[in-house]
Amino acid sequence: MEFAKYYKVTNKLNKLLEQKKVFSYTKDYCKDLFICEDTHIFWICRILEGYNEEYEKEDGKWLVERNKIDKYDFINFIEEKHKEKFIVKHRQDRDNIISSLEDNFVIENVILFDDDQGLENWDNYECESYEEAISVIDGGHGIIEEY
Protein backbone atom coordinates (compact mmCIF):
# COMPACT_ATOMS: atom_id res chain seq x y z
CA MET A 1 0.00 0.00 0.00
CA GLU A 2 1.12 3.52 -0.64
CA PHE A 3 2.25 5.07 2.64
CA ALA A 4 0.02 7.77 4.19
CA LYS A 5 -2.56 7.59 1.37
CA TYR A 6 -6.16 6.75 2.04
CA TYR A 7 -7.74 4.06 -0.08
CA LYS A 8 -11.49 4.15 -0.63
CA VAL A 9 -12.50 0.55 0.05
CA THR A 10 -16.31 0.75 0.07
CA ASN A 11 -16.61 -1.73 -2.82
CA LYS A 12 -14.41 -4.22 -0.95
CA LEU A 13 -16.62 -3.85 2.12
CA ASN A 14 -19.72 -4.47 0.00
CA LYS A 15 -18.16 -7.66 -1.40
CA LEU A 16 -17.39 -8.87 2.12
CA LEU A 17 -21.00 -8.11 3.09
CA GLU A 18 -22.28 -10.13 0.11
CA GLN A 19 -19.98 -13.02 1.08
CA LYS A 20 -21.21 -12.75 4.68
CA LYS A 21 -17.64 -12.44 5.96
CA VAL A 22 -18.44 -9.46 8.23
CA PHE A 23 -20.96 -9.33 11.06
CA SER A 24 -20.56 -5.91 12.70
CA TYR A 25 -20.87 -3.97 9.46
CA THR A 26 -24.33 -3.91 7.91
CA LYS A 27 -25.40 -2.95 4.39
CA ASP A 28 -26.11 0.71 5.11
CA TYR A 29 -23.92 1.28 8.18
CA CYS A 30 -21.60 3.72 6.47
CA LYS A 31 -21.67 5.67 3.23
CA ASP A 32 -17.98 5.08 2.53
CA LEU A 33 -15.01 3.30 4.09
CA PHE A 34 -11.33 4.28 3.87
CA ILE A 35 -8.04 2.68 4.98
CA CYS A 36 -4.59 4.24 5.29
CA GLU A 37 -1.26 2.72 6.27
CA ASP A 38 0.77 4.87 8.65
CA THR A 39 4.07 4.31 10.46
CA HIS A 40 2.85 2.13 13.35
CA ILE A 41 -0.86 1.76 12.60
CA PHE A 42 -3.54 1.43 9.98
CA TRP A 43 -6.22 4.11 10.04
CA ILE A 44 -9.76 3.09 9.18
CA CYS A 45 -12.33 5.82 8.58
CA ARG A 46 -16.06 5.47 8.14
CA ILE A 47 -18.38 8.19 6.85
CA LEU A 48 -21.86 8.00 8.36
CA GLU A 49 -24.64 10.00 6.73
CA GLY A 50 -27.22 11.77 8.88
CA TYR A 51 -25.50 11.55 12.28
CA ASN A 52 -24.00 14.22 14.53
CA GLU A 53 -21.04 13.75 16.87
CA GLU A 54 -23.37 12.48 19.61
CA TYR A 55 -24.59 9.71 17.25
CA GLU A 56 -28.03 11.28 17.13
CA LYS A 57 -29.87 11.24 13.80
CA GLU A 58 -29.62 14.69 12.25
CA ASP A 59 -30.38 15.46 8.62
CA GLY A 60 -27.60 17.23 6.77
CA LYS A 61 -24.85 16.04 9.12
CA TRP A 62 -22.00 13.72 8.22
CA LEU A 63 -19.93 11.92 10.83
CA VAL A 64 -16.37 10.72 10.25
CA GLU A 65 -15.44 7.88 12.60
CA ARG A 66 -11.74 7.13 12.87
CA ASN A 67 -10.06 4.13 14.37
CA LYS A 68 -6.47 3.05 14.50
CA ILE A 69 -5.27 -0.53 14.29
CA ASP A 70 -1.84 -1.30 15.67
CA LYS A 71 0.32 -3.14 13.12
CA TYR A 72 1.50 -5.70 15.71
CA ASP A 73 -2.15 -6.48 16.52
CA PHE A 74 -2.81 -6.75 12.79
CA ILE A 75 0.01 -9.32 12.41
CA ASN A 76 -1.43 -11.30 15.35
CA PHE A 77 -4.86 -11.22 13.71
CA ILE A 78 -3.45 -12.58 10.44
CA GLU A 79 -1.56 -15.31 12.29
CA GLU A 80 -4.73 -16.41 14.06
CA LYS A 81 -7.14 -16.06 11.15
CA HIS A 82 -4.93 -17.60 8.46
CA LYS A 83 -3.00 -20.07 10.64
CA GLU A 84 0.29 -18.35 9.79
CA LYS A 85 3.31 -17.91 12.03
CA PHE A 86 5.56 -14.90 11.57
CA ILE A 87 8.76 -14.16 13.43
CA VAL A 88 8.58 -10.56 14.60
CA LYS A 89 11.51 -9.51 16.74
CA HIS A 90 11.46 -5.81 15.91
CA ARG A 91 9.68 -3.17 13.88
CA GLN A 92 11.60 -3.91 10.68
CA ASP A 93 10.34 -7.53 10.75
CA ARG A 94 6.79 -6.28 11.18
CA ASP A 95 7.12 -3.79 8.32
CA ASN A 96 8.75 -6.34 6.01
CA ILE A 97 5.95 -8.83 6.63
CA ILE A 98 3.24 -6.27 5.90
CA SER A 99 4.98 -4.94 2.78
CA SER A 100 5.32 -8.52 1.47
CA LEU A 101 1.53 -8.97 1.55
CA GLU A 102 -0.70 -8.15 -1.42
CA ASP A 103 -2.58 -4.85 -1.02
CA ASN A 104 -5.91 -6.59 -1.51
CA PHE A 105 -5.08 -9.05 1.29
CA VAL A 106 -4.07 -6.24 3.65
CA ILE A 107 -7.19 -4.20 2.87
CA GLU A 108 -9.52 -7.16 3.34
CA ASN A 109 -7.90 -8.13 6.62
CA VAL A 110 -7.90 -4.59 8.02
CA ILE A 111 -11.67 -4.53 7.36
CA LEU A 112 -12.10 -7.98 8.92
CA PHE A 113 -10.02 -6.95 11.95
CA ASP A 114 -12.10 -3.80 12.39
CA ASP A 115 -15.28 -5.83 12.04
CA ASP A 116 -14.00 -8.40 14.54
CA GLN A 117 -13.29 -5.63 17.06
CA GLY A 118 -16.89 -4.39 16.80
CA LEU A 119 -16.31 -1.17 14.83
CA GLU A 120 -14.66 0.66 17.70
CA ASN A 121 -13.56 4.20 17.09
CA TRP A 122 -10.79 6.31 18.46
CA ASP A 123 -12.52 9.60 17.67
CA ASN A 124 -15.13 11.20 15.45
CA TYR A 125 -15.63 14.47 13.64
CA GLU A 126 -18.96 16.04 12.69
CA CYS A 127 -19.18 17.64 9.25
CA GLU A 128 -21.71 19.78 7.43
CA SER A 129 -21.29 18.04 4.06
CA TYR A 130 -19.91 14.92 2.41
CA GLU A 131 -17.19 17.07 0.81
CA GLU A 132 -16.08 18.31 4.23
CA ALA A 133 -15.98 14.72 5.50
CA ILE A 134 -13.74 13.75 2.57
CA SER A 135 -11.52 16.76 3.32
CA VAL A 136 -11.18 15.67 6.96
CA ILE A 137 -10.04 12.21 5.85
CA ASP A 138 -7.91 13.33 2.91
CA GLY A 139 -5.87 15.94 4.75
CA GLY A 140 -4.57 17.22 1.42
CA HIS A 141 -2.74 13.99 0.54
CA GLY A 142 -5.31 12.60 -1.89
CA ILE A 143 -7.43 9.48 -1.87
CA ILE A 144 -6.93 6.44 -4.03
CA GLU A 145 -10.41 5.78 -5.37
CA GLU A 146 -12.10 2.40 -5.04
CA TYR A 147 -9.37 -0.08 -4.61
In a domain, 72, yes or no: yes
Please report the DSSP string for 39-73 in residue order.
Answer: SSEEEEEEEEEEE-TTS-EEEEEEEEEEEEEEHHH
In a domain, 1, yes or no: no
- pLDDT value of residue 111: 97
- Cβ distance 116 to 77 under 8 Å? yes
Mean pLDDT of the chain: 94
In a domain, 29, yes or no: yes
- Residue-range definition of the domain harbouring residue 89: 6-144
Sequence-distant (≥ 6) Cβ neighbours of residue 28 within 8 angstroms: none
Paired sense of beta strands 6-8 and 123-127, if any: unpaired
In a domain, 76, yes or no: yes
**Structural domain count, the chain:** 1
Q: Is the pTM of this model over 0.85?
A: yes
In a domain, 20, yes or no: yes
In a domain, 109, yes or no: yes
Kindly state the percentage of the chain with pLDDT values over 70: 99
In a domain, 52, yes or no: yes
Amino acid (one-letter) located at 35: I
Question: Who has greater pLDDT, 32 or 141?
Answer: 32
